[in-house]
Amino acid sequence: MPDLPPLSGSTFFTAWTFDVPAVLVALALGVGYVAAARRQEWAAGRTTAFLTGLATLVLVTCSFLGVYDTTLFWVRATQNTVLLMVTPLLLALGAPVTLLMRTAPPKLANWLRTHGRGRFAQFITFPLCVTVVLIAPFLLIYLTPLYELSLDSAVVGGLVRVALVLAGFLYFYSRVQLDPTPRNGSHLVSVWISFTEVVFDGALGLVLWLGPLLAPAHYDAVHRDWGPDRRTDQIIGAGVLWIGGDVAGLPFVGALFIRWARDDEKRAKRLDKKLDEEAAAGEAPAKGLWWENDPDLAERFRRS
């Protein structure tokens, strides 16, 4: 393992590496997305969100975060947090599934429509399942030998990164719902899942803060004589996973409430339009409470 210079103010900006798999994946996805978007009337904001997500993937693997990710615990924690909470959210805001279905060959598009609403897709996007998908990765990484293995093996480390992005994307894809999803989930459920994730982040942060040092053999082999000591390094990393994960989730919660408000506004407009049409046709006003006449809520709150 090569000796690295101390991580200081200058090396934050000058320490770079070239992660070939990450760069190739980002280039392939970016070129494919832009080429597909140019064939459609596609919102520029979605393209910006998707490309920014790919940029964060390159940033955490090629900047100082990629250089020092096996040297400092807090750096690896920052990298993992971005890959689970930031990169997938930005990719999901790009609505890539919708774009793919619009531009894919007919056979592939039909396959996506068929299997995208199949039993397995409905199971994996069930609220309890996506909650586990969001929470489980960090628990598996930091509470099992997987963490040390991911530090010592570049292949395992790469697979862990892929798993983090996929897990995060499945969650945000199913909860943001810009793309067609197997389930039309409730915004309130998404809020509760977010609060659940906050609780588990806090619990994991406390375990790492007060618990034993992780990967002692690996970090002893680094022979680092600069920066925070091992305990302080892990405490900083625990704070990143705890507080950083919650802060990273704030944009999603904000987007969720905005979408919630917009959906309520659209529902109110549909109901007002229906009432106006009934009044113009001379029909008697519908009886009962307002929500009993709302087509979206009537079935949910139907009286027995």
pLDDT of residue 179: 80
Is 184 within a domain?
yes
Is 303 within a domain?
no
pLDDT of residue 292: 53
Please give the backbone phi and psi of residue 209, each rounded to the nearest 5 degrees, phi first. -70, -45
Is 302 within a domain?
no
Domain range for 151 is 11-292
Is 267 within a domain?
yes
Provide the token pair at 115.
């299997």
R_g (Cα) of the chain, nearest Å:
23
Provide the token pair at 302.
């139907």
Residues 6+ apart with CB under 8 A from 242: 201, 202, 204, 205, 206
pLDDT of residue 137: 93
pLDDT of residue 125: 81
- Classified as helix, coil or strand, 218 is helix
Q: Cα(148)–Cα(157) distance, rounded to whole angstroms? A: 9
Q: Cα(35)–Cα(8) distance, rounded to whole angstroms? A: 40
Helix, strand, coil percent values for the chain (each to nearest 5): 75, 0, 25
Q: Which residues of the chain have pLDDT under 50?
A: 290-291, 301, 303-304
Phi-psi region of 223 (alpha: psi -120 to 50; beta: other; left: phi over 0): left
Is 298 within a domain?
no
Please tell me what DSSP assigns to residue 7: -
Is 183 within a domain?
yes
Q: Cα(206)–Cα(226) distance, rounded to whole angstroms? A: 25
Provide the token pair at 245.
């994960």
Residue 19 identity? D
pLDDT of residue 225: 87
pLDDT of residue 123: 84
Domain count, the chain: 1
pLDDT of residue 262: 62
Is 6 within a domain?
no
Is 3 within a domain?
no
